[in-house]
Amino acid sequence: MPVRKIPKNYRNITGVAPHSKAEGEAGYESSLERDFLILLEFNPNVMCFEVQPVMIQWVDESGKPRRYTPDVFVQYNHSNRCPILYEVKYRSDLKKNWRDYRPKFKAAIHYAKERGWRFKLVTEVEIQSAFLNNAKFLLPFVRRGPQQEEHMDILADTLESLKVSTPEKLIKIIFRNEWHQAELMPTLWYLIGTRQIDVDLSQPLTMKSEIRWKHS
């Protein structure tokens, strides 16, 4: 559970996001934090994450006790990848307040190292991307699941036989009727979002993106 409650803030975007990988409430204090949680939820390598996970205490140079709570603790599916404590900040904020942040981050690095973790800063440069836009688009389809089971089979069989296609070509090969083509799309996006269909999600996802069936 988070070690502190995220307060309402009328100058920044705050809230709680419904994420299946979150342990406890997935609260956020900015749109950047919200977007980072979306990336974690959509990342197949992420096993689980916890917001406001630990409170780190240390004594500063003047002997005064200090406290700092990193934004997110993430555990990964692969045993060779250590857990990471993340802090999410805008680059302009880091530049403006680095003198205040530096001792906090130094304490977090030491805290994480003692436990076999890592501490990492992430900014809008890493978060705001085509991958994030794809995640925002695909996650609702993943959460809803396939529209019809038979659509999964026909999409998979057709794409496997084609080897390579695009969403536009694939649905036109299966159905000539535009209404039937439209009915296929939610299941197609579900299969892409669950990584059963391969596509380069680091690029904008369109009806002309190259797709392949992913063999298990």
pLDDT (tens digit, 9 = 90+) per residue, 62-91? 889 999 999 999 999 987 899 999 999 999
Q: pTM, whole model, 2 decimals?
A: 0.86
Domain layout of the chain by residue ranges: 15-127, 137-213
Confidence of residue 25 (pLDDT cuts 50, 70, 90): confident
Which residues in 58-77 are b (16+ Cβ under 10 Å) and which e? beeeeeeeeebbbbbbbbbe
Non-local CB neighbours of 215 within 8 Å, separated by 6+ positions: none
Q: Of the candidates 31, 138, 46, which has an alpha carbon nearest to the alpha carbon of residue 89? A: 31
Instruction: Indicate the DSSP class of residue 7.
Output: P
pLDDT score recorded for residue 18: 61
Confidence of residue 194 (pLDDT cuts 50, 70, 90): very high
User: HSE-up of 133 (CA within 13 Å, CB side)?
Assistant: 9
CATH 3.40.1350.10 fits 15-127, yes or no: yes
